[in-house]
Structure 1
Amino acid sequence: MMTRKLRMGMVGGGTGSFIGDVHRKAAAIDGMIELVCGAFSSTEEKSIASGKALHLKESRCYKTFEEMILKEKELPEDIRMDFVAIVTPNHMHFPPAKMALEHGFHVICDKPVTLTLEEATTLQSIIKESGKLFALTHNYTGNAMVKQAKAMIAAGELGKIRKIQAQYLQGWLSTTIETTGQKQAAWRTDPSKSGIGGALGDIGIHAENLISYVTGLNVAEVAADLGVFGKGRVLDDDGNMLIRMENGAKGSISISQIALGEENNLAIKVYGEKGSLEWYQENPNELITRWLNEPKKIYSPNGNGLHPEALEVSRIPSGHPEGYLEAFATIYKNFAKHILSVNAGEVVENPDYPRIEEGVRGMKFIYAAVESNDNNSNWTKI
C-alpha cells in the first residue's frame, strides 16, 4: 500500500530542456512521485536557478550531481530522495547512474542507456552488485495499444511471427541546424556526446526496442545501410536495415532524421500465420488488426476485447486521446510500483518497464549496425 509519494531527484533537465519537462510531467501524472531535488545543468548557476524556478527548496538545488548524491545520502531516510532520474545527453548517463547506484539510490534513465557498449555492460554489473532498480525510458512501450499488441502476440493470436516492418522517420535535421546554435541538434550530431550512432542511437533503438517488446523476439542479425546527408556531419542521419529475428522471421527497419516533412513517424507492422497488426505513434490510440478469415478490427484504449495489460494503462474513457506523456507516465508508474514493492519486502518477477537488459541489447544493436555499414552492409550478428 502506498503511504507517501516517492521522492525523485533529477540530473539534467534544466530551464529550456524539452525532455526534462517531459520527465517531470510524466512522473507526476499518476500522483505517485514528487520532485524534491536536482542538479539540473552542468553550469552551476543555471542548475540553481532551474531548481528555484521549479519551486524547490534552495538547500536542495545542487550545483553538481556529485553534490546532490552525497548530500542526499546524508539526509534522514524520511526526507532524502528515493531515486534519481537522468535526463542528460548520452555522454552524461553513465557517471551519475554509476554514482547513484553505488550510493544506494534507484535510477531511471533516458535512452540510449550509455555513450558506449563498454559503459553499458559495466553499468549492468554495477546494477547487479548494488541490488538497486534501474529503468530505461523507452517510453513508447508504455502505450496502451502497444501493450495490447504485445499481449495478443504472446497469447498466440497472430500465430507464428513471419515478417516485421518498423520505421522511425523524422525531418528535423533536414538542414544543418546544429551549426546555428540549436543545442538538441548540436549534441546529437557530436560523437563525443551522442556515441557512434546518430539517428541510429537517437531513434533507431526505439524501433529495435519496439520490435522486441511487441513480438517478444530479439533481432539476431542486421544488414545496415546508413547514410550521412547533412554537410559536415560524421554521424548517420538516415538508414535502412534488414533484420533477421531469432525465430527465423524476416524484417526491416527504416530510420531517418532528414525525411523532409516527417514529424515523429514511428510505426510497426507484424505479420503472423493467422493475422497481422499495425500501430502508428502519430495515431497512438488505434491498433489495426487483420485476420485470415475475419474482418479487420481496430482496437482503442478502454475499448472492447482488450487484454488486461492494455486496460491497466488506459487511464481515461474511450474517445479521449492518450499519447506521449501518458506512455512516458506508464514507465514511471511501473517503476514506482516496483520500488514500493521492494520497500515492502515483496519480490516482483517480471516488472513491466524497460531495464538494463534492454539497454545493453540496444547498444549491441547500434554497434552491430555500424559494423555492418562499415563492411558494405554485411550481415552482422548482435
Structure 2
Amino acid sequence: MRKLRMGMVGGGTGSFIGDVHRKAAAIDGLIELVCGAFSSSAERSVQSGRALFLPENRCYGSFEEMIRAEKELPVGERMDFIAITTPNHMHFAPAKMALQNGFHVVCDKPMTLTIAEAGELISIVEETGLLFALTHNYTAHPMVRQAKAMVAHGDLGKIRKIQVQYLQGWLATSVESTDNKQAAWRTDPSKSGIGGALGDIGTHAENLTEFITGLKISELAADLGRFGEGRVLDDDGNILLRMDNGAKGTMSFSQIAAGEENNLAIRVYGEKGSLEWQQENPNQLITRWLDQPKKIFTPNGNGLYPEAATLSRIPAGHPEGYLEAFATVYRSFAQHLTAVLEGTTLQNTGYPSVYDGLRGLQFISAAVHSDSNNAAWTKLP
C-alpha cells in the first residue's frame, strides 16, 4: 500500500520523452520518481535531478552507479524499477544490468539495437521472473482497445485487408545538421540501429496492426527511401504485408511527408464490416457495416466492450490523448508490479512486453533485408 519508486535512465533537462514518462507515470498517483541517471554527464545529471526536486545523493552520474547504489539501500528505500528513456543504443545495457540486479524495467522502443540483444533480455526476464514493459503507448488508447475487442469477438468477421500509416514531416529538411538532438541521433545508425523512420515510427505501425487484429505478419516486401541529403538510414517507406490468416495489408510510413504532424491511422476490413482509428483524433473509432449504418464509438459511450470501457479517466466528451494512453501503460505495469511485491497473483494487464520488443526487432530486420534485395518477399519468424 505505497507508491512504487521509479529510477530514470536518461530523460534529463530538455528531453522530450523523459518528460513524457515522468508525467505519464505520475497521472494515476501510483508511482513516484526517487532517483535518476539523467545524462551521460554527471554534472548535468545532478542539475536535472535538482530541477526535479530530488536529493543530490539520488542523482547519479551513470546508470551503472545508480543500479549499484540503489541495490545497497534498504528494501524500503531503494527504487523498485527503472524507466529507460535514452536513445536506442542505450536501451540494452541498462535494461540488462537492472534485471541482473533484481530491478524491474520499463523501456522505450525499439527495445534494443539487435535481435540478439532482444533475445538476451528475454532470457533474463524468463530466468528472473522480473517484469518488463515496453512503451508502445498507442495500444493503450480506449478506442484502440475497443477495436481490438471488436475483432477478437468476431464483430467484423474474418479479417481480409489492413491499411496502416504513420506519416510525419519533421525530417523533410536536413534538421540533423542544425542543433536538433532528436534528429541527430535518429539519423545516426550507431545510435538508432539499422532502421531510421522504420524503427522510430514503423514499429508503432507494426505493433498497432498486430495488436488490433490479433494476427501476425508472416511475410513482407519493403521499399525504403532515403530522401534527406547524405542520410544513411531510411526516412520513408512502403511495405506490403501478408498476414498469417491470409489477409493482405499495406503500410506506409514517412518522416519527410511535408506538413504531416503525427498521422498514425489504421483501417481494418473484415467480411462483415470495417473499422478506422486515427491517432490525431483518438477519441473516435469509426465502424462501417454491410447491413447497417456507420457507427462511431467514443470513450464512455454506449456499446463498449469492458476492455475499452474501463480505461477512461474522465467524463464523456473530454479529450483523452497521448499522455493518458502513455499513463495507461504505466498504470497497467504498476498494478502488476504492486501485485508481485505484495505476493498476490495478477497477470500482465495489457501492457506491451519484452516479447513485443523482440517482434519489433524482427520486423525491422525483415524490412531492411527485403529492401536490400529489391523489395523481395521476406518471412518473419
* TM-score class, shorter: over 0.9
Give 1:260-275 correspondences, 5 Å limit: 260-275=258-273
2:306 to 305, 308, 324: 308
Kindly provide the amino acid, as one letter, of the partner of residue 105 in structure 1.
Answer: F
Which residue pairs with 2:80 in the alignment? Answer: 82
Kindly provide the amino acid, as one letter, of the partner of residue 309 in structure 1.
Answer: E
Q: 1:16 to 1:350 in 2, by over 3 A?
A: closer
Q: Distance in 2 between matches of 1:242 and 1:82?
A: 42
Matched, 1:100 2:125: no
Which residue pairs with 2:156 in the alignment? Answer: 158
Matched, 1:364 2:362: yes
Do the aligned residues in 1 keep the contact of 2:187 with 2:232 (CA within 8 Å)? Answer: yes
Kindly provide the amino acid, as one letter, of the partner of residue 46 in structure 1.
Answer: R
Which residue pairs with 1:198 in the alignment? Answer: 196
Could you report, residue by residue, the CA deviation over 1:279-328 in whole angstroms, capped at 9, with x for unpaired residues?
00000000000111011000001011111111111110111000000000
Which residue pairs with 1:355 in the alignment? Answer: 353
Unaligned segments of structure 1, at least 5 residues? none
Matched, 1:221 2:209: no
Query: SS of 2:130's equivalent?
Result: coil
Which residue pairs with 1:296 in the alignment? Answer: 294
1:333 to 300, 322, 331: 331
1:176 to 174, 179, 191: 174
Kindly provide the amino acid, as one letter, of the partner of residue 315 in structure 1.
Answer: R
Query: SS of 1:72's equivalent?
Result: helix
Q: CA deviation at 1:347?
A: 3.1
Query: SS of 1:326's equivalent?
Result: helix
Query: SS of 2:75's equivalent?
Result: coil
Query: SS of 2:163's equivalent?
Result: strand
Query: SS of 1:168's equivalent?
Result: strand
Q: CA deviation at 1:344?
A: 2.4
Q: CA deviation at 1:360?
A: 0.3
Give 1:1-382 correspondences, 5 Å limit: 3-382=1-380
Kindly provide the amino acid, as one letter, of the partner of residue 104 in structure 1.
Answer: G
Q: CA deviation at 1:116?
A: 1.3
Q: Distance in 2 between matches of 1:199 and 1:117?
A: 18
Q: Distance in 1 between matches of 2:348 and 2:170?
A: 37
Query: SS of 2:245's equivalent?
Result: coil
Q: Distance in 2 between matches of 1:218 and 1:316?
A: 33
Q: CA deviation at 1:43?
A: 1.1
What is the aligned-residue RMSD (CA, Å)? Answer: 0.7
Q: CA deviation at 1:350?
A: 4.4
Query: SS of 1:52's equivalent?
Result: helix
* TM-score, length of structure 1 as denominator length: 0.99
Q: Distance in 2 between matches of 1:123 and 1:163?
A: 34
Kindly provide the amino acid, as one letter, of the partner of residue 341 in structure 2.
Answer: N
Identity across aligned pairs (percent)? Answer: 72
